[in-house]
Chain A
Amino acid sequence: MNLPIYLDNNATTPMDPRVLEAMLPYFTTKFGNAASRNHPFGWVAEEGVDYAREQVAKLIGANEKEIIFTSGATESDNLAIKGVFEMYKEKGNHIITTVTEHKAILDACKHVEKLGGKVTYLPVKEDGIIDLDLLEKSMTSETILVSIMYGNNEIGVIQPIKEISAIAHKHGALFMTDAVQAVGKIPVDVNRDGIDLLALSAHKIYGPKGVGALYVRRKGPRVKVTAQMDGGGHERGMRSGTLNVPGIVGLGKACELCGLEMESEAKRLSALRDKLQASLTQLEESYVNGNVEHRLPHVANISFKYVEGEGLMMAMKDLAVSSGSACTSASLEPSYVLKSLGLSDDLAHSSIRFGLGRFTTEEEVDYAIEVTKKAVTHLRELSPLWEMFKEGIDLNSIEWAEH
């Protein structure tokens, strides 16, 4: 076992060597511009892109013509939100999303608001799942788009996508999903799930960074988005820019591998995750955040009360994880996702996200359990709050000097 151990696979994943192997020729010998129509260099590159388009489409049950390659999911999210808003402004100006979305969606929505759009940010229930009745009540004749993420990046909670898309469609709106964390981890099917637009990213599924895709439905209904970059009219006019051929080939290969291995991987990882979670929740005052039934197989977000997340991560030597603690964010605010579950700030500060992946072994999980338990115990010995809790003092009865 090599140290440090990487358990932050929701942030990014290591690239699978098989993906790298597929990409390599496209840096050197097959370097052509996929848009060069008049010589073999272009044709070879285009062939690579076309094949990747099929591989991506197959993983999500789409047609290859419905895949728009982008620089990553942030671009895909922006293109979907802003592009739909611009394309469908005659029809309406209202978008519905949730408070637990990734910033790429939330900030694109804020942008739309500045352009005169109206956005409803649905709250989530304590388990992180949206209230379908509230969604239905929020739909208006002006609603053009509902954008709800498939699986959450911090807590792994999976939204009831089929039900959500049905409500959106019933009211004549399109349904978009940021499926970055779900694609390649659990079965996603754009037709079964009623998805009109879907964002995905290569580096979350053992592919390279800097490449992603937006699925845009072509039939029933035919969806269009207004391009957000002007240029050569690539990707059916929706996304200009010379195609990142090696990256796209890598994304395709990554999708193919996920399609082949997802089912067995999901079983293996959920067993490891459950082991980790069961062991760590044996510690007093530790709580799992978010719904545990409707959850991605490889994520566990756990709060260890009375210890602070960043301090805890420092003690979890040789483990790479992440925390919802304020101290780890640039804003000094604790995780908005955890707060939206109704978690008090102190529990949000005490959270650790464990993200397992394709290369995580049982030995590593066992090691992580031991290190985490020791770290929590050690820091609780240092914690005045733990001492007060043990003495039976109600922490809410103390007048804290907020600073």
Chain B
Amino acid sequence: MAYSEKVIDHYTNPRNVGTLDKSNHKVGTGLVGAPECGDVMRLQIQVDDNNMITDAKFKTFGCGSAIASSSLATEWLKGKSIDDAMKIDNMDIVEELALPPVKIHCSVLAEDAIKAAINDYRVKNGMAPIESEKVHH
């Protein structure tokens, strides 16, 4: 199976690899997946006082598509409000990266990571977590 050019680009030059201080109350951290399943994503957002995402970082254990999905997610998150970020749909990632059906779960994981990071931020800052209406698994 050949990878799309965009997957290869994100895989070869991953954007925003790194770690934010998870003890900072302005940082939301999402850790999703499981080592036994072959993919784990950690996605972090730095949020300012206007609930805007000013920075995003990721680290991913997984295949090329998983790494590309999380790299793309960090690009999309920067500059978005947390409300808009909540609207990122896994199918947008599938479309942008031209993921084949067998790799759709990588995009689902990226969406889960975004929502987990936002909810971590919300809970840290006294807001109720937003329940996702979608059940993926």
A310 pairs with B41, CB closer than 8 A: no
A403 pairs with B37, CB closer than 8 A: yes
A386 to B42 CA separation, bound complex (whole angstroms): 12
B35 pairs with A387, CB closer than 8 A: no
Centre residue among A381, A385, A403 by max chain B CB count within 10 A: A403
B59 pairs with A311, CB closer than 8 A: no
A332 to chain B, nearest CB (A): 8
A115 near B: Cβ within 8 Å?
Answer: no
A401 near B: Cβ within 8 Å?
Answer: yes
Tally of contact residues, B, Cβ under 8 A: 32
Chain B contacts with A in 32-81, Cβ cutoff 8 A = 32-42, 59-64, 66-67
B88 near A: Cβ within 8 Å?
Answer: no
Interface SS majority for chain B: mixed
Interface SS majority for chain A: helix
B93 near A: Cβ within 8 Å?
Answer: no
Given the known interface contacts A311-B66, A314-B3, A384-B40, the answer about A346 and B35 at a Cβ–Cβ threshold of 8 Å is yes
B17 pairs with A311, CB closer than 8 A: no
With beta carbons under 8 angstroms apart, the residue of A308, A314, A315, A344 that contacts B39 is A308
A307 near B: Cβ within 8 Å?
Answer: yes
With beta carbons under 8 angstroms apart, the residue of A308, A387, A401, A402 that contacts B62 is A308
A327 near B: Cβ within 8 Å?
Answer: yes
A396 to B, closest residue via Cβ: B35
A145 to chain B, nearest CB (A): 35
A132 near B: Cβ within 8 Å?
Answer: no
A381 to B14 CA separation, bound complex (whole angstroms): 11
B60 pairs with A403, CB closer than 8 A: no
A402 pairs with B37, CB closer than 8 A: yes
Chain A contacts with B in 347-403, Cβ cutoff 8 A = 349, 381-387, 395, 398, 400-403
Q: Chain A residues in contact with chain B, CB under 8 A?
A: 306-311, 314-315, 325-327, 332, 334, 344-346, 349, 381-387, 395, 398, 400-403
Q: Which 9 A-B pairs have the closest CB atoms?
A: A400-B34, A345-B36, A346-B35, A310-B63, A384-B42, A384-B59, A349-B38, A314-B64, A327-B63
